A and B are shown apart, each in its own frame.
Chain A
Amino acid sequence: MSGTFVGMPTFPKNAAKAVQDSQLRFNLRKATHTIRGKRASVVGELDDWAELREAGKTIKDHTLRHLDDYLIQMEEKVTAAGGTVHWARDAAEANRIVARLVKETGETEVVKVKSMATQEIGLNEALAEEGINAYETDLAELIVQLGDDFPSHILVPAIHRNRAEIREIFLKHMAGAPKDLSDEPRALAEAARVYLRQRFLEAKVAISGANFMIAETGTLVVLESEGNGRMCLTLPKTLISVVGIEKLLPTWQDLEVFLQLLPRSSTGERMNPYTSMWTGATEGQEFHLVLLDNGRTSVLADKVGRQALRCIRCSACLNVCPVYERAGGHAYGSVYPGPIGAILTPQLRGMDTPLDRSLPYASSLCGACYEVCPVAIDIPAVLVDLRGKARHTRAEKAGMAAAGWVFNRSKRLAKAQRFGGRMRKLVPKRLPGPLSGWTDTRDMPDIPAESFRDWWMREGKR
């Protein structure tokens, strides 16, 4: 990704464009429904899924409650195992630390393991400004990077692309792509494999994130499907891992729960193909851990919103969300799209821009996200809480105050209903202003001559 989300219009405006894109709608529908079905079937196999989910939630809540202690423990263990720990308050500080560490190696190229934290801080762009090229090695991230595009899904960043588009991107932007490249998945994967193999062999520095950090031993854990992550984690001399402070787990026993929850919720597999774990550095190699705050501490301070920090980035909520399926990931203007993005982004970035203020409203509150969340984040409840904190327009405030005034006395409601009943023939078929949002696609209901309560008074009660 080389662009920026800054200055993007609000969610409804972005989504309005996306819903008209039939190719995107088709791609998203097909992909999300496929993963959704796989998830449902592997989750359905487990009799104790509800207990696992409860355990995941409890472990994360406990860790967040004692985050200060576990972070110090993590630092001690990593240091004892030969690694170096750095603390980054925000994106700028994390980027400065990583750029300095890379420069100290004398290298100008790094390979990257798929990582949300480094996307969040815009690391690739920051490194580019320092003259350092970062190569994404996850196949989908590579497609996004070569296409000078934005990721649109946490787990499947190029979900909005079909294979014909990927072929185009490879032919135009991937050095050494065969001229006769077809759009067969096998051919596309092979072309990427040849291209990436060269990067792995040349790279002296790798950058990763982590799915989990285990405080009791100072171990980092990455789950992936392709094995490209393991290439980055093992071959280069220097490894720099940028990890959000909420990724901690106290013990290996806790990890057991998450190794069941994550693959089943994300790719719909019983187990992911590659799980890499490392503790500190072995001789001749260097390991740096950059612990990233970037707004997480303030999320932690919020009684309702803090549950978002339980998130293990599985994407189950995206795959089941009817809004995400139609609006696509780009509409959310963040590396965290979908329902989890709608509660995470406004908390991490604040609600100062029109886009960030519109995100808590990017949901019909249908509750499908909460139902599938493996750590039971009550996303609708957090959305509603954030809506209470968002700035509202003057017109809406006036409308809501008027409605509240009417609802606060039943006599006022009865009067309003009688007035509406008398005026019912005069209600236009198309409403003006913001209410046109209703009548643009829907007919108005016939307004009854008599409300229920008036009927009750007249002849209902006996």
Chain B
Amino acid sequence: MRVALFITCVNDTLFPDTGKAAVGLLRRLGVEVEFPLAQTCCGQMHLNTGYRDEAVKLANRFTDTFGGYDAVVAPSGSCAAMVREQYPHLDIENIPKVYDLSEFLVDVLKVTDVGAYFPHKVTYHPTCHSLRGLKVGDKPTDLLKNVRGLELVPLPGAEECCGFGGTFAVKNRDVSAAMCADKIGNVMQTGAEVLCAADNSCLLHIGGTLKRQKSGVRVRHLAEILASTEESAE
């Protein structure tokens, strides 16, 4: 099986550690992942902001880049959902099989215990596009429950959007901030020290607000927690 990593433009540029963690995790599980250098962006920002033509160009570029692979793994529910759910609306042909990281681990590799160690109190935010787009269900929390040392605490109102929404966060800054305030209120209620999600764009928004508020709660991508071991743990 030829497996490619679709890092996503946000992770590539701002969160290389998530990519490194995904590569380390997959190699630990025996998957030799490739990284096609021609990849850039799935086109979601353009499409969802109203620039369909640009998005179609990027979507075609995506299918050209990843066409030869049996599986494409993305550490982003949102970008995976763009390819799987929105490309068909753009009449894109030969769409490669794309998985969010938790889907690839649970559905393809059939593993829920990835041998990770992360001795912290963690709460999990199931991002909208993972939850309602990809419908990943309990896969991410099943993975987290098997991490040694990790105490998983449920997040109240977990299924509510954090208010990121791409350019929504800037165009509708007040509503976006109000949604984030409520999300953070729920996070603080859990007493967790780490907020985990499978999408760094949501974590950019929630984490940026947590930091501004000097809340003392940090954010970690699911890949980073699953890649963590006794030797590497924070």
**A413 touching B40, Cβ below 8 Å:** yes
- CB-contacts of A431-448 with B (<8 A): 434-435, 437-438, 440-445, 447-448
**B38 touching A410, Cβ below 8 Å:** yes
Cα separation A19 to B159 with both chains bound (whole Å): 21
Interface-located stretch among B145-153, B161-169, B186-194: B161-169
Cα separation A323 to B162 with both chains bound (whole Å): 10
Contacts of A435 in B (CB 8 A): 170
**B89 touching A381, Cβ below 8 Å:** yes
**A367 touching B129, Cβ below 8 Å:** yes
- CB-contacts of A375-389 with B (<8 A): 381, 384, 387-389
Interface-located stretch among B98-106, B172-180, B224-232: B172-180
**A404 touching B57, Cβ below 8 Å:** yes
Least CB distance, B214 to chain A, in whole angstroms = 10
Contacts of B48 in A (CB 8 A): 365, 384, 387
Interface-located stretch among A9-17, A114-122, A284-292: A9-17
**A451 touching B132, Cβ below 8 Å:** no
Least CB distance, B233 to chain A, in whole angstroms = 21
Q: A106: CB under 8 A from chain B?
A: no
Q: B113: CB under 8 A from chain A?
A: no
User: CB within 8 A of B173: which of A12, A389, A420, A453?
Assistant: A12
Contact A366-B128, Cβ < 8 Å, known A404-B54, A410-B38, A451-B13: yes
Contacts of B89 in A (CB 8 A): 381, 384
**B160 touching A322, Cβ below 8 Å:** yes
Interface-located stretch among B15-23, B115-123, B136-144: B15-23
Contact A410-B11, Cβ < 8 Å, known A16-B174, A440-B173: no
Cα separation A11 to B171 with both chains bound (whole Å): 10
Cα separation A412 to B73 with both chains bound (whole Å): 23
Cα separation A8 to B46 with both chains bound (whole Å): 28
Contacts of A326 in B (CB 8 A): 175, 178-179, 182
**B40 touching A410, Cβ below 8 Å:** yes
Q: A186: CB under 8 A from chain B?
A: no
For B23, B37, B129, B178, the residue with the greatest tally of chain A CB atoms inside 10 Å of its CB is B178
Known: A367-B133, A403-B46. 12 other contacts (CB 8 A): A15-B175, A367-B128, A368-B160, A389-B50, A404-B51, A407-B40, A410-B37, A417-B13, A441-B212, A444-B208, A445-B207, A453-B37
**A455 touching B58, Cβ below 8 Å:** no
Q: A460: CB under 8 A from chain B?
A: yes
Contacts of A367 in B (CB 8 A): 128-129, 132-133
Contacts of B35 in A (CB 8 A): 453, 456, 460-461
Contacts of B37 in A (CB 8 A): 410, 453, 456-457
Q: B220: CB under 8 A from chain A?
A: no
Cα separation A416 to B40 with both chains bound (whole Å): 12
Interface residues of chain B: helix, strand, loop or mixed (majority): helix
Q: B218: CB under 8 A from chain A?
A: no
- CB-contacts of A30-52 with B (<8 A): none
Q: B29: CB under 8 A from chain A?
A: no
**A442 touching B45, Cβ below 8 Å:** no
Contact A364-B170, Cβ < 8 Å, known A403-B45, A408-B57: no
Q: What count of chain A residues pass the 8 Å CB interface test?
A: 63
**B7 touching A452, Cβ below 8 Å:** yes
For A420, A440, A441, the residue with the greatest tally of chain B CB atoms inside 10 Å of its CB is A441
Least CB distance, A24 to chain B, in whole angstroms = 11
Q: B50's closest neighbor in chain A, by CB?
A: A387
Q: A177: CB under 8 A from chain B?
A: no
- CB-contacts of B39-90 with A (<8 A): 39-41, 43, 45-52, 54, 57-58, 61, 86, 89
Cα separation A443 to B171 with both chains bound (whole Å): 17
Listed in ascending order, the chain A residues whose CB lies under 8 Å from chain B are: 11-12, 15-16, 19, 25, 322-323, 326-327, 360-368, 370-371, 381, 384, 387-390, 392, 396, 400-401, 403-404, 406-410, 413, 416-417, 420, 434-435, 437-438, 440-445, 447-448, 450-453, 455-457, 460-461
Least CB distance, A67 to chain B, in whole angstroms = 25
**A322 touching B16, Cβ below 8 Å:** no
Q: A446's closest neighbor in chain B, by CB?
A: B14
Cα separation A360 to B23 with both chains bound (whole Å): 38
**B12 touching A417, Cβ below 8 Å:** yes
User: CB within 8 A of B170: which of A368, A400, A434, A451?
Assistant: A434
**B14 touching A407, Cβ below 8 Å:** no
Contacts of A396 in B (CB 8 A): 49
Contacts of B19 in A (CB 8 A): 452, 455-456
Q: B112: CB under 8 A from chain A?
A: no
Least CB distance, B219 to chain A, in whole angstroms = 10
Cα separation A447 to B15 with both chains bound (whole Å): 8
User: CB within 8 A of A408: which of B11, B40, B128, B175?
Assistant: B40
User: CB within 8 A of A413: which of B9, B20, B50?
Assistant: B9
Contacts of A364 in B (CB 8 A): 128, 161, 163-166, 168, 172, 176, 179
Contacts of A387 in B (CB 8 A): 48-50
**B14 touching A400, Cβ below 8 Å:** no
Q: B204: CB under 8 A from chain A?
A: yes
Contacts of B51 in A (CB 8 A): 388, 392, 400, 404
**B16 touching A455, Cβ below 8 Å:** yes
Least CB distance, B36 to chain A, in whole angstroms = 9
Cα separation A72 to B35 with both chains bound (whole Å): 61
Cα separation A406 to B212 with both chains bound (whole Å): 30
**B14 touching A447, Cβ below 8 Å:** yes
Q: B211: CB under 8 A from chain A?
A: yes
Contacts of B159 in A (CB 8 A): 368
**B58 touching A388, Cβ below 8 Å:** no
**B172 touching A443, Cβ below 8 Å:** no
**A443 touching B174, Cβ below 8 Å:** no
**A451 touching B168, Cβ below 8 Å:** no
Cα separation A42 to B125 with both chains bound (whole Å): 26
Least CB distance, A95 to chain B, in whole angstroms = 34
Cα separation A363 to B12 with both chains bound (whole Å): 27
**A438 touching B170, Cβ below 8 Å:** yes
Cα separation A440 to B174 with both chains bound (whole Å): 10
- Pull 25 A–B residue pairs with CB atoms less than 8 Å apart, ordered by A: A11-B172, A15-B174, A16-B174, A19-B178, A326-B179, A364-B163, A364-B176, A366-B132, A366-B160, A367-B129, A370-B132, A388-B50, A388-B52, A401-B54, A404-B54, A404-B58, A408-B57, A417-B12, A434-B170, A437-B173, A438-B170, A442-B212, A445-B204, A451-B12, A452-B15
